[in-house]
Amino acid sequence: MEKIKCECGHVNPLGTVLCEACGKPIEGNQHIDGNENKKLLNMRYEGSARRSKTYTSSFIDKIWTFFSSVKVGVWLIVIALIASALGTIYPQEQYIPAEAISRDPAVFYEATYGTTGKLYYQLGFHDLYGSWWYMILLALIGVSLVICSLDRFIPLYRALKKQRAKRHETFIRRQRYFSETEQVSEDEITKVKNRLRKQRYKISEENGHILAEKGRFSRWGPYVNHIGLIIILIAALLRQTPLLFLDEYVWVREGQQTVIPGTKGEYYIENKEFILEIYDESDGEIYKDALEMQGEAVAKNYQTNAIIYKKKEESVVGAEPELEVIKEAEIKMNNPLKFDGYTLYQAGYQLDEFDTMSFKVHQTDDTDKESLGTFTVDLTKPDQTYELDNGLRVQIDQYYPDYELDKGEPRSKTKFPRNPAFVFLIYPPEENKPEVSFVGIGRNIDPTNENQYKLGIADFSMRDVSGLTVRKDYTLPLFIIGAAIFMIGVIQGMYWQHRRVWIHPKGKNVLLAAHTNKNWHGLKQNIEKAITDTKINLVEDQQELEEEVKKKGGKS
């Protein structure tokens, strides 16, 4: 048997609990919604035939049934909730502070938090939200969303589409809100009908039977918001692909022009100026107390004045590219720069980095330090050798942009010229044996103590460096669409209710029943308003009556 024919003539799909058209309980299927031995009918899905409750034998059926369960869905949410909370116990990898003992997670967690920190790292909780099992958890939630929605939406849609105004008496009597009134006149029924219409109920009639309905669209709310969530999950998946998502970082010095990474050499940026402003008295009396309490400078603005160039198409490969200005802008925090699908964010800065350094050479024993020649080193790209006017040749043997002594060994802490130091080889005119000299800020060492020439820092220039994030994210519109659909769905489902009132004449008597998916008090108020000055009795809450018989507050 594939279909079930109801006595009203409607043919229902297999597994139907309540006839889609008239609502008559279908014998043999009442256990599905737990209607046996109960006065009230389970109306959650209108007694429609759901796949998960109908087909349960094959392997696929079992998987479908598993994921279509709200219980499973809630468990998945709860597990995700607990897992997310675990990830906040210690900072995630990306939030290890700059001043930490080590930024290497293998060292940081144990050194900072001891054994629990070590365990945290070993369990992979330092990157919990990027871990495979967290991803799988979210994916399972996604699967649950899809299956839950399909399992319920299709039959529910059918049932509400096929419902008729004339319902079976059993259906009416087994609603939560129900009343029976004897000897009701036609006029009174018309009065109630019109009052319901006035309250914006849609009325449909069939042989004197009346169905008043409003807000049916709110029943679709859950499915709409689930679609939104699925779109968001898909967007998150797509974001993993480099095709749609780009995340780069570029340091650019004041006055420098550099290619923007991730743009395939197509775009260049020039940093005209970096500006750091802090709050002071001129910002008004009102901030005085707060600034005093803070005790340190409070930043007011981070800004890079930048020019964006695009490579001209006819540029020859290998040659210096020809550039044209496409944009000139101030990039500030909260005010990123957008061009051709890319976005640049003010993300970091380095103040007072060395730009150039000039050196002067003189005779070691010359007390007047009379210059024998000078040269200037560009600290970002120093030359190998410098020929001086008087025939001296200076060669850079070692260059430490950010000099420090590590256990007696000189090294460069970073590759940025923050504390430059050099080992110079000085070749006197027409000689092949050089003198060695070590020069840095506040350092001038002659390892042999026999040098004829001495090098000294004559001058230097400094500049700031801007750190900018380069982003291209084609998944953003998808996230926005997903979020918008979610919001529409959730508002549709939460702020409206699906209310129905049935008027069922039975001889001279009238049966009145009503159902809503939520906010029963509101429904009762609607009915109260509709039946004033008529003989018709107000509906009784049969669930309340049932419960009062069953138990009395809290004793269990």
Residues that bind another protein in the complex, under the rule CB under 8 A? 44, 70-71, 73-74, 77-78, 80-81, 84-85, 87-88, 91-92, 94-95, 97, 99-100, 112-113, 116, 129, 279, 283, 286-287, 289-291, 293-295, 298-302, 332-336, 343, 345, 347, 469, 471, 476, 479, 483, 486-487, 490-491, 494-495, 517-521, 544, 553-555
Give 249 or 460: the residue with its C-beta nearer to another protein.
249
Q: How far apart are CA 34 and CA 45, in angstroms?
A: 12
Beta carbons of 305 and 327 less than 8 angstroms apart = no
Give 81 or 243: the residue with its C-beta nearer to another protein.
81
Q: For the CB of residue 229, give the shortest distance to another protein in the complex, in Å.
A: 10
Q: For the CB of residue 470, give the shortest distance to another protein in the complex, in Å.
A: 9
Q: For the CB of residue 284, give the shortest distance to another protein in the complex, in Å.
A: 8
Q: How far apart are CA 332 and CA 51, in angstroms?
A: 55
Q: How far apart are CA 193 and CA 185, in angstroms?
A: 13
Q: How far apart are CA 79 and CA 141, in angstroms?
A: 10
Give, to the nearest 10 degrees, the angle between helix 132-162 and helix 59-67. Answer: 90
Q: How far apart are CA 228 and CA 222, in angstroms?
A: 10
Return the closest-CA partner of residue 19 out of 5, 33, 31, 2. Answer: 5
Give 207 or 334: the residue with its C-beta nearer to another protein.
334
Q: Is the dihedral of CA 63, 64, 65, 67 positive or negative?
A: positive
Q: For the CB of residue 212, give the shortest distance to another protein in the complex, in Å.
A: 22
Q: For the CB of residue 122, give the shortest distance to another protein in the complex, in Å.
A: 17
Q: For the CB of residue 243, give the shortest distance to another protein in the complex, in Å.
A: 18
Give 110 or 355: the residue with its C-beta nearer to another protein.
110
Q: For the CB of residue 442, give the shortest distance to another protein in the complex, in Å.
A: 23
Give 3 or 550: the residue with its C-beta nearer to another protein.
550
Q: For the CB of residue 361, give the shortest distance to another protein in the complex, in Å.
A: 40
3-class secondary-structure state, position 311: strand
Give 240 or 519: the residue with its C-beta nearer to another protein.
519
Q: Is the dihedral of CA 518, 520, 521, 526 positive or negative?
A: positive
Beta carbons of 277 and 301 less than 8 angstroms apart = yes
Q: How far apart are CA 183 and CA 508, in angstroms?
A: 5
What 8-state DSSP symbol labels residue 37? T
Phi/psi at 187 (5° precision): -60, -40
Give 338 or 535: the residue with its C-beta nearer to another protein.
338
Give 106 or 487: the residue with its C-beta nearer to another protein.
487
Q: How far apart are CA 307 and CA 324, in angstroms?
A: 10
